[in-house]
Structure formats: C-alpha cells, structure tokens
Amino acid sequence: MTIEQNIGRFYINGAWVDPSAGASLIDVINPATEQIVATVALGLRADAEKAIAAARAAFPGFSAWSAAERLALLGRIRDVYESRMDEIAEAISTEMGAPLAMAKSDQAWSGLGHIEATMTALKNFVFEEKRGSTLIVHEAIGVAGLITPWNWPMNQIACKVAPALAAGCTVVLKPSEIAPLSGILFAEILDEAGVPEGVFNLVNGDGPGVGQVLSGHPDIDIVSFTGSTRAGILVAKSAADTVKRVAQELGGKSPNIILADADIETAVSSGVEACFANSGQSCDAPTRMLVPRDRHEDALAIAKVTAEKLVTGDPRDPATDLGPVISQVQYDKIQGLIASGIQDGAQLVTGGRERPEGLAHGYYVKPTVFGGVTPEMRIAHEEIFGPVISIMPYDSEEQAVEIANDTVYGLAAYVQSGEIEHARRIARQLRAGQVHINSPDWDLFAPFGGYKQSGNGREYADWGLRDYLEAKALIGHG
C-alpha cells in the first residue's frame, strides 16, 4: 500500500482500518502554500480503545522476546526507514514547511539516528544484575501511549517508539493532527519491517479525542508526551487518576550566554543561526542571547547581518534557509509577540511584522532580532516558537547566570567562551537539562529533557530506554 491509500485510516492490530463511524475530518495544510494537501480522520474514543486493547493483548508475547530478537526487529525497521528517507523528507517538508534539504539532512535523518542510537543502547544495556543475594531485573513497563508534536515530527516519533520497542513495550502512537503524514509513513515502515500484530498501533486525532484517552486509560502504563507546557499539564492531570508513569518534554526559553572572552563574531552569528533553524520552531532553540553590556551594540550589528543573510522562502528552493511557520494560529501568535516587543520598548534591529518581500502566501515570518531586551518583557520570558531572538545585555557573569536561570523553563542552555574551563564553570551553574558549550554537534546519546516546567524524564538512547522499564528486585534469589 502507499501513503495515499492510508491517509484516512488508522493502523491497529497489524492492519489499516477505517475510523469509527462519526469520526470528523481535518485538513492538512501545506504552510508554504496554504493549500490542503491531505485530509485525515480524527479518531474517537472507540478508535483509541481498539488500539489500546490490541496493544494490551500483544504485550505478554512481545515482552517475552529476548533482547536479541528485539534488536533484530529494530534492525529491520532501520533498513526500511533508510530506504524511504526521500519520502519521509518530502512528507515532513509538505506538512510542516521545513526546507526540503533540511527535512532530509536533519528532520528525516534524526529518526534514523534515534533508531540506530537505540540499537546501540539495547546491545549494551544490562537487564539483569546481582547485588548480593538479590537479582535486579529491568523489564518492560507495559503499554506505552505516545503523543508527538509537529515541529520535529519524525525525531520525536523515533525517539519514543524505538526505545519503547527496545524495552519490550507495546505502543499506541498519536502524532500531531496538523502534521500526521510522517506518522502514517512510520506506521507503513513498521508494517513492512514485520512488527507483530498489536505491538505498534497508530491513531490520528486531537488532544481531547485521543490524547486524553491515552493519558487517562487504565490499560496504558506510561504516557510520553512532547508539546507545550499547557498541554503537558492537562496530560499529567488526566494521568493522575491511574497513577501511571508520565514522561514529558515541554516548552523552553533557552539562554545563550556569550562570555567576554568569546569570539563575538562567531558566537553571535552561530547563536542567531541556531535560534532561527527550523524557522525557530524548536523547543530548545537559544532564543535569549546574553551579551556583555559593552559588546551589546557589536552583537546587534552582527546579528542584523546574520539574520538578513538568511533566505526565507519556498521550501523546495535549494537556496532557502527558512521555510514558513506551521499554521495561521502560530503565525498570529508570533506576530502578536513581535508587536509586544516593540510596545515594551525593545529595539527592533531587523525583521518585524511585515511579511518577507515577495511572499504574499504562506505563513512566512521575517527573521527578527530585538536588542536591549530586559527580563520583564514578554519576549524575554514567553516561548515564541518562531524566528525571533532577544538580545539581552548583562553587567557581570553573576547577573548573566541569574538572568539565564530566571525562567519557568529549563530544557536547554548555551555557553560561548574562548576558554573551555571558563565555559565549563558557567555551564555547571545553569539549571537546564542540556547545556551546550561552544556549539557542539548534536549528541543522540546525551539525555534530552528538562528541569522545572520543561518536563520530566529523559529521552535518547539508553536514557529513553530506562523510561520504558520497571525495576524488579528478586530478593533471596541467591
């Protein structure tokens, strides 16, 4: 079958099935053109419960598989995934607007990377260990309800599904209803790879219709959610009555401290580019750039040049650096926050509320740089999720650390310094799940997750694997 045949269906118990009678439909909009590219059904409680029942029935058999058998399954998934990379990139670019080259080199690649990282973790993971006369056994927690976002759709699907399967869990996946195409492709990949009936299930839908069913259902043993902090709170409340495990990766407002001994040109330009990557739609984007007050004007000049070099436009054009943001709703939110920055007295260095030149259609936002931003401004503490950066001057390193930590979030932080030991000292003071020192490469084996209202639990490789395991102590085992 092809994705065109499966767009309106759900994948339950090893088969593509039609939605329940009465399911409503939602159009998938290409944010670059504002045109409808697909229509999917929004699952009802009955659809979610059918998928949960299939996963529950499959769990005893699948959880008894050996680690070697699960590793072989992941290897088959990896091989099929790799053979469909071009299709995956095309789907992601179409549904959420990433430039096509980036959709393949970063978005689609991340899914493959997570599968391979999980395979490495599974090979090396110790599932049983002796402590005196007690045997500690790590075993699958049960049925996993996975709820994934639209901004890095395949990244988040793979970094949840792969470790869940590696642990021996069975899965019900609900991708974002506004970017569901890559999730449907992923279900096709798992079907082709020979995942047993009921082990993996996919139901499209929205939060109230499917997400709350997964988070509140007594036959779901863990719910793993990536999305906004607002929605994460609702998931946690829904899950509380059944006392299930909840793993969440939520919002962020990540600081980027540029120390006085950093190369200002390199640090500012790389920080701006990192913030604007994926059109600013990354939860760990370094959106708050902190610079020494005596270098503030230099930083603004460098940021302006960097931002204005970036090409915003058609995702299919190889020259494009930034595509559109995901939707009209997101576009309007970003425009409102840009307006608030101006109203609050921040210095608009470049960008602003006008559409980029020559782009009359599509949800395109000008790369926008604000200077002279102070902590009380909305743009300094609210997550914008668009190509907007706030540059904030500081008078001392102690003040920089204080400003950096003055947020309800704690997903990521960044430090730039010409002296590695200096950067390390500052990095240890930052309250975030990941601290990036001097623009390192993406590390798929580093734990990913946040402090405070950025969530709980950790994803990627063995860190993700642990979330889907229970620890059992066989005392007196001998």
What pLDDT digit, counting tens, does each position of 179-201 carry? 999 999 999 999 999 999 999 99
Q: What is the mean pLDDT of residues 134-145?
A: 98
Q: How many CB atoms lie within 10 A of CB 14?
A: 18
- Sheet-wide strand order for 434-437: 347-350, 368-371, 388-394, 288-292, 255-258, 412-416, 434-437
Report the pLDDT value the prediction gives residue 93, as an integer from 0 to 100.
98
**Using CA atoms, how far apart are residues 353 and 370, in angstroms rounded to an integer?**
12
Q: Are 114 and 457 in contact, with CB atoms under 8 Å apart?
A: no
The CATH number fitting domain 3-250+454-474, selected from 1.10.3720.10, 3.30.499.10, 3.40.605.10, 3.30.70.600: 3.40.605.10
Closest CA to 144 of 167, 123, 122: 167
Domain range annotation of the chain = 3-250+454-474, 255-444
Question: For the chain, what is the mean pLDDT?
Answer: 97
Closest CA to 412 of 268, 230, 256, 228: 256
**Using CA atoms, how far apart are residues 254 and 251, in angstroms rounded to an integer?**
10
Report the pLDDT value the prediction gives residue 291, as an integer from 0 to 100.
98
* 233: CB partners within 8 A, 6+ apart: none
**Using CA atoms, how far apart are residues 314 and 43, in angstroms rounded to an integer?**
32
Max distance between CA atoms of the chain, in angstroms, equals 74
Q: What is the C-alpha end-to-end distance of the chain, expressed in Å?
A: 53
Split at pLDDT 50, 70, 90, the class of 2 is: low
* 59: CB partners within 8 A, 6+ apart: 140, 142, 143, 169, 170
Which burial class, exposed, middle or buried, applies to 88 when counting CB atoms under 10 A from its CB (0-12, 13-18, 19+)? buried
The 3-state secondary structure of the chain reads CCHHHHCCCEEECCEEECCCCCCEEEEEEECCCCEEEEEEEECCHHHHHHHHHHHHHHHHHHHCCCHHHHHHHHHHHHHHHHHCHHHHHHHHHHHHCCCHHHHHHHHHHHHHHHHHHHHHHHHHCCCEEEECCEEEEEEECCEEEEECCCCCHHHHHHHHHHHHHHHCCEEEEECCCCCCHHHHHHHHHHHHCCCCCCCEEECCCCHHHHHHHHHHCCCCCEEEEECCHHHHHHHHHHHHCCCCEEEEECCCCCEEEECCCCCHHHHHHHHHHHHHHHHHCCCCCCCEEEEEHHHHHHHHHHHHHHHHHCCECCCCCCCCCECCCCCHHHHHHHHHHHHHHHHCCCEEEECCCCCCCCCCCCCCCCCEEEECCCCCCHHHHCCCCCCEEEEEEECCHHHHHHHHHCCCEECEEEEECCCHHHHHHHHCCCCCCEEEECCCCCCCCCCECCEECCEECCECHHHHHHHCEEEEEECCCC
**Using CA atoms, how far apart are residues 290 and 119, in angstroms rounded to an integer?**
39
Report the pLDDT value the prediction gives residue 207, as an integer from 0 to 100.
94
Q: Are 394 and 438 in contact, with CB atoms under 8 Å apart?
A: no
Residues belonging to the active site: 249, 283
Split at pLDDT 50, 70, 90, the class of 41 is: very high
Give per-residue pLDDT as tens, 307-352. 999 999 999 999 999 999 999 999 999 999 999 999 999 999 999 9
Please determine, for residue 107, whether its predicted confidence score (pLDDT) is greater than 60.
yes
Helix 181-192 / helix 67-83 crossing angle, nearest 10 deg: 120
Q: Are 411 and 432 in contact, with CB atoms under 8 Å apart?
A: yes
Please determine, for residue 231, whether its predicted confidence score (pLDDT) is greater than 70.
yes
Report the pLDDT value the prediction gives residue 424, as an integer from 0 to 100.
98
Split at pLDDT 50, 70, 90, the class of 1 is: very low
Split at pLDDT 50, 70, 90, the class of 382 is: very high
Q: What is the mean pLDDT of residues 466-472?
A: 98
To the nearest whole percent, how much of the chain has pLDDT over 90? Answer: 98
Q: What is the mean pLDDT of residues 87-94?
A: 98
To the nearest whole percent, how much of the chain has pLDDT over 70? Answer: 100
Beta bridge partners of 201: 172
Report the pLDDT value the prediction gives residue 5, as an integer from 0 to 100.
82
- Give the distance from CA 339 to its chain's centroid: 27
Dihedrals φ, ψ of 349, to 5°? -85, -40
What would the two tokens of residue 90 be? 């095309």
Q: Which tops the pLDDT comparison, 405 or 478?
A: 405
Beta bridge partners of 35: 30
Report the pLDDT value the prediction gives residue 3, as an integer from 0 to 100.
75
Q: Are 418 and 263 in contact, with CB atoms under 8 Å apart?
A: yes
**Using CA atoms, how far apart are residues 290 and 397, in angstroms rounded to an integer?**
10
Q: What is the mean pLDDT of residues 432-443?
A: 97
Report the pLDDT value the prediction gives residue 104, as an integer from 0 to 100.
97
Give per-residue pLDDT as tens, 296-308. 999 999 999 999 9
The amino acid that residue 36 corresponds to is: I
**Using CA atoms, how far apart are residues 271 and 339, in angstroms rounded to an integer?**
23
Q: Are 33 and 85 in contact, with CB atoms under 8 Å apart?
A: no
Q: How many CB atoms lie within 10 A of CB 316?
A: 14
Give per-residue pLDDT as tens, 342-378. 999 999 999 999 899 999 999 999 999 999 999 999 9
Please determine, for residue 172, whether its predicted confidence score (pLDDT) is greater than 70.
yes
Report the pLDDT value the prediction gives residue 4, as an integer from 0 to 100.
80
- Give the distance from CA 274 to its chain's centroid: 15
Class of the CATH domain delimited by 255-444: alpha beta
Between 199-203, 262-266, 358-362, 424-428, the lowest mean confidence (pLDDT) is in 358-362
**Using CA atoms, how far apart are residues 92 and 103, in angstroms rounded to an integer?**
6
